Structure 1
């Protein structure tokens, strides 16, 4: 294959992905005004339903503009040999290949962040603000962005630097070492993310003694689920949307409740939501997802090792001398179809796990409380009650609400 063929293949894949996503978004858009499924008509009153429709349509229009902007930007960047320009800038700072790669990716990262800031700002302070979700301040927005960038630069730089060291010393066998590194980091992040990184952005406090904590501990004890770490996070400082999540293993496992969740749901509904999360743990979903993720990364790295040194990849991006960072960029474009397939399979597995966790919550607690909690959370977030089946297939990690309620109703 020639570099010219690879270049047009990359362009073709970018355009294909854009049209695929545009078609899926449009199909989903056509369902916005569809008749509500049975059992969902009582979630919204007429005014609230109109509000949810407007919210979905505004997000759709915003997404179309953002996607079109990104498409034009990357095609223009490729047309003017943008990667060659960035590579030349990086090479002007150092002769060391590792330093050049770090500077190269640093420039791309900063450029991407800067170009994405107006979209993020508009979404937060226009769309989310308009529909009553945003509670963040402008100062907090910029503070979050600054912290996120520093954290990404530090962690990304350390991990990328180690990968480059592996590549320089062992060549194409670097993928083994990188796989071990990524697997280790994944496990450590799962174990200690809530303890080490969440405090950089949010305040976490132990759930105070009282009726809610007593009900949670009673349920956990009945399930032989050793749970001492129950925390409340101040999610309301940024958004009125509610959430809860489970993290960690062994003595580090913890349940984190958003303060908005405690405000929106009653105690029985909160325990039902936590029963769902305990179901994920008891069914080994967390371990399975971690293993699947690690295996997927390993496969990706192995495929990368076969092509990253190919001169034709660098030449396709307008760079004469092959290098790890140019090969990685070209590979990321070419790997898109496989990434799309693995994403679909991962979502199918995730939706199956959600049904299982719902069933666990119903069997071990009270299904009617989980039903009412799901309805309240859906209403609060103005969620789409009529997603297109194709959009669900490609993008949903959770089943649509109508399917979850039907499963809870039918599963005895």
Structure 2
């Protein structure tokens, strides 16, 4: 296949994205400092701080290798006419247009999964194990992948079919129909996932009666906050890392705590983390996040409509019979710089929400709440070997949360 202008532009978009993210990663490693920030003097010793930095370096090397191989394989596949060959191959089975499209996209996604598998295995059983995090057994690893594959085929396949049908049959209204389908799917998943999907991967048990549960329920009642439940998740069966998260909408709001979080923190620290999560709901961040995500998706689908209408584009990549499925895959490649730009905007909003949730927790917790949240953040950083000094470009491009030092410094400026 010839390197025509359309092909050069699409591959150029991939190379540009690779270069920008690679630069951010390189600067992130370069920003590591020899001195421990004063705020962490009581949490880290020099050996632990050095270990957290080596964890970042090791992860950066792995991601660089993964992304470099991905870029080379995609470029080779495109330049060798792979997109057109795959379209001809899937059409040779004699399926209808929709089934052919599902087979086409599914084959590419399966190939991507197979190629990424060695990196996932290394990440889990070598890198994470080396730093004392991995608790995943080979059997659990395989079962996770099989369950994820089954969900992808059933749920992802149904959604993909709706999108391909819309763009293949509805003309100028396709993007609106696809937008509606994806929005409805996302809203349903916000309700269904915590109850039916997440338990396929982890066990969720109600937090037992005791000091912590009483503190959480007392705080929630004082804030007029209705909870659908507080659960402990067996995160330790996969990793030693600690976390907590908030799911659901309306009266179905649920808080889930990793068992590792409970093991590593005091009651006041866990309560501070939950107050932060409740702050997101109280301040409307979940609703606003959903609206922003829906608006972003609408923009992307509209741009996809324009992309699919570009005359001769698919033929330049060796696709003899232009289709919604081949156009969707091409758009996925060309879209990368736009995805990066939209991600920058979305992450900026997310970081702003995190600061607001921190302020809410500090304001509504009992005396010493700001200090308790700052201490909890330090404990999480130590437990997860977090990077304490990320480069601003990396933060700007990828961070949904502000750097932990920035959050702690804001909190400690508030009256305790």
TM range (shorter): over 0.9
SS in 1 for 2:230: strand
Partner of 1:71: 71
Matches within 5 A, 1:340-351: 340-351=340-351
Partner of 1:30: 30
Partner of 2:133: 133
Residue 340 of structure 1, CA deviation: 1.5
Q: Distance in 2 between matches of 1:65 and 1:169?
A: 41
Q: Distance in 1 between matches of 2:54 and 2:138?
A: 25
Q: Distance in 1 between matches of 2:41 and 2:401?
A: 20
Q: 1:372 aligns with which of 372, 375, 388?
A: 375
Q: Is residue 246–residue 253 contact of structure 2 (8 Å, CA) maintained in 1?
A: yes
Partner of 1:179: 179
Q: Distance in 1 between matches of 2:115 and 2:333?
A: 20
Give the direction of change, closer, same or farther, for the CA distance of 1:69–1:260 in structure 2 (3 Å limit): same
Matches within 5 A, 1:147-226: 147-226=147-226
Q: Distance in 2 between matches of 1:128 and 1:202?
A: 19
Partner of 1:262: 262
Residue 46 of structure 1, CA deviation: 1.6
Q: Deviations over 1:244-282 (max 9, x none)?
A: 111111121111111111111111111110000011011
Q: Is residue 44–residue 382 contact of structure 2 (8 Å, CA) maintained in 1?
A: yes
Q: Distance in 2 between matches of 1:43 and 1:215?
A: 25
Q: Distance in 2 between matches of 1:36 and 1:50?
A: 9
Residue 95 of structure 1, CA deviation: 4.4
1:399 aligns with 2:393: no
Q: Distance in 2 between matches of 1:411 and 1:369?
A: 12
Q: Distance in 2 between matches of 1:310 and 1:99?
A: 24
Partner of 2:9: 9
Residue 106 of structure 1, CA deviation: 1.0
Partner of 1:389: 392
Residue 34 of structure 1, CA deviation: 4.7
TM-score (norm 1): 0.97
Q: Is residue 14–residue 334 contact of structure 2 (8 Å, CA) maintained in 1?
A: no
Cα RMSD for the two superposed structures: 1.5
Residue 175 of structure 1, CA deviation: 1.2
Q: Deviations over 1:293-315 (max 9, x none)?
A: 00110111111112214342212
Q: Distance in 2 between matches of 1:87 and 1:181?
A: 26
Give the direction of change, closer, same or farther, for the CA distance of 1:3–1:63 in structure 2 (3 Å limit): closer
Q: Is residue 40–residue 402 contact of structure 1 (8 Å, CA) maintained in 2?
A: no
- For structure 2, the residue ranges without an aligned partner over 5 or more in a row are none
Q: Distance in 1 between matches of 2:169 and 2:314?
A: 21
- For structure 1, the residue ranges without an aligned partner over 5 or more in a row are none
Partner of 1:291: 291
SS in 2 for 1:197: helix
Give the count of matched residue pairs. 411
Residue 291 of structure 1, CA deviation: 0.2
TM-score (norm 2): 0.96
Q: Distance in 2 between matches of 1:183 and 1:3?
A: 38
